[in-house]
Structure 1
């Protein structure tokens, strides 16, 4: 995904509930696995992202709480959007490692927040860790993910 394009679409659609829903649907179509959990983008600015995940049966485990892998998916998506929104259009990021701490059973509407300090000049590959925190409706942190991104210049396309 081109960071400039993502932010341009968000700037057109992010100002209304309908626009945010449409943006989230487009994101899910463009990134099908991340779209599978049905998270919605509520805030997006260079270096920061907030998502909500409604509590639905399709993301539950056998303990009637939100599945651990759905939480990882949510954290990775939040960190990715925070990272991507701060990158120049000539750069890309690829996840190389994810670790997750689960602090409480995740139930109800969840909110994921992530902030990334994107590196300035990107002329070589570098590692960058982005944290994403997930909170329940009461404001309790239920999980925190640390996602390691390899950030570098996009490869040049050979004609």
Structure 2
């Protein structure tokens, strides 16, 4: 079992385990700590986290800043990738395309998804579908993060 998925399974069974996991994950890539993600789902082909709407992630109109949203999408994608990738492969992000579709004026759930066959297709270009959803269900950002998946050398 991939280490991130194993850590999620161990910590999420504990009281406040999602917070323990989220803190540990953010230490691996410290920039993620700026949004204080709280992971709620980590499984192969899917990861979700929540960014709380708070002053530290606000823009000038007091909504969640576009770059904070992208940071959340990338963190969700990273957890998904680490929980899904076959042991004989490695990944690196190679691009992100997003559209901002509504104001992010509540907590935002960032979701990353793939299909199982994407990881075994042999095509090194792997698009991860990402979106951010407001508390009322409105999608505020959506797009694709492209990964480059290659065999470990």
Structural RMSD (CA) = 1.7
Q: CA deviation at 1:14?
A: 1.6
1:10 is aligned to 2:8: yes
The CA distance in 2 between the partners of 1:16 and 1:121, in whole Å, is 36
Aligned to 2:88: 90
Aligned to 1:100: 98
After the TM superposition, which segments of 4 or more aligned residues of structure 1 sit over 6 Å from their partners? none
Contact 1:42–1:50 (CA under 8 A) maintained in structure 2? yes
Aligned to 1:120: 120
Unaligned runs of 5+ in 1: none
The CA distance in 2 between the partners of 1:106 and 1:146, in whole Å, is 18
> Which of 28, 47, 66 lines up with 2:64 in the alignment?
66
SS at match of 2:35: coil
Q: CA deviation at 1:17?
A: 5.0
> Which of 131, 134, 140 lines up with 1:142 in the alignment?
140
SS at match of 1:36: helix
SS at match of 2:127: strand
The count of aligned residue pairs is 151
Unaligned runs of 5+ in 2: none
Contact 2:49–2:110 (CA under 8 A) maintained in structure 1? yes
The CA distance in 1 between the partners of 2:107 and 2:142, in whole Å, is 16
